[in-house]
Structure 1
Amino acid sequence: MLKRERQAFILHQVNIHNKVLSSGLSEEMKVSEDTIRRDLQELSDEGKIIKVHGGALSCSFSHVGYPSEKIYSHTHKKIIATKALSLIQDGMFILTTGGTTIVELARILPMQLRATFVSCSIPAILEYSNHPNIDVIVVG
């Protein structure tokens, strides 16, 4: 399968399912996961998908978020997030749920932090993906 065909297939799958897994694409197209990773990276660089650890998400998720003025007890959630941040260290694997407090935590993570976050929350995943040294594992 040619690169252009692979990438068209990937985009089609992302448009249908809103997410794809590298391992599933590799099996379906009978190519290595390294080939899929390169294709995903290229598509991400072109702004066609959001690359995450283990796969990719639809760009339609890039506008998902919570407007601060509509969050119940927003100030308190920021305080909780700041306290939680003090527990996080480089090299940790952190499993998070969803919710606005977790999104606040993701927003205040230091850019130099090197950690792996596991989550099923699209808004949290998108915030984690803004940090260059954080790996993100998406749970379906």
Structure 2
Amino acid sequence: MLTQQRKAHILAVLKDTGQVVAKTLSEQLNLSEDTIRRDLRELAAEGLLQRVHGGALPASPALADFSGRQAIATDGKKAIGRAAAAMIRPGQVVFVDGGTTAVQLVRHLPPGLEATIVTHSPSIAVELVAHPGMTVEMIGGRLFKHSVVAVGASAIESIARFRADIYFMGVTGIHPEIGLTTGDSEEAVIKRALSRHAAETIVLASSEKLGAASPYVILPMNEAQGLVVERSTAEETIAAYRKAGMTVTRA
């Protein structure tokens, strides 16, 4: 089997089963594990999969920059944002992550709702300028341009000043075994700090993020309390997240 044929087969298996196990695939194709691992490394370098111990998982398309992500699963993100916005109660202090799904959340906040939104995302803050009832607290730091959010030591210090009722977390991947992941190490640190300063963490996950993995782990899945997914998400997909103790809301 030629290299391109092997790679195409690997990607087909990944699409069909949601994972590739190097040992199993090497036995099926009568090839060495080294050959399969080399193919996996090269495919990972092209951004076509995420390598994990023993094989690979789907790479999340949500690793694109902010403008690129705006075109991914737009209807699903609107529905998820609407459902998440409905969870906020008057008077609460709420952490809102950066990202395109979070933008949909703040766009769907009822005009009469009064609460405090704490965010490290300038995009989120700007969306709330015209909202009459929202107090907006900005977390400052170095701007990570890829995701348009603040990161770094000063952001961590700012987060420590708050105790939020809810944190709405954006991720680029959520996998039952790997956990909650993102594409940048500093973003992972910020998200972890926000979660640990909130009473409840709710993950916003459009369809392309479910079952996918990115290089940096934020938290194990069981450290988040809730998950908001698209209404059309298959029950067998959701079952693994419920098993981890998450309350799953279909948007």
- Normalising by the residue count of structure 1, what TM-score does the alignment of the two structures yield? 0.49
- Normalising by the residue count of structure 2, what TM-score does the alignment of the two structures yield? 0.30
More helix per residue: 1
Larger Cα Rg: Structure 1 or Structure 2? 2
More strand per residue: 2
Which gives a bigger RCO, structure 1 or 2 (Cα 8 Å, sep 6+)? 1
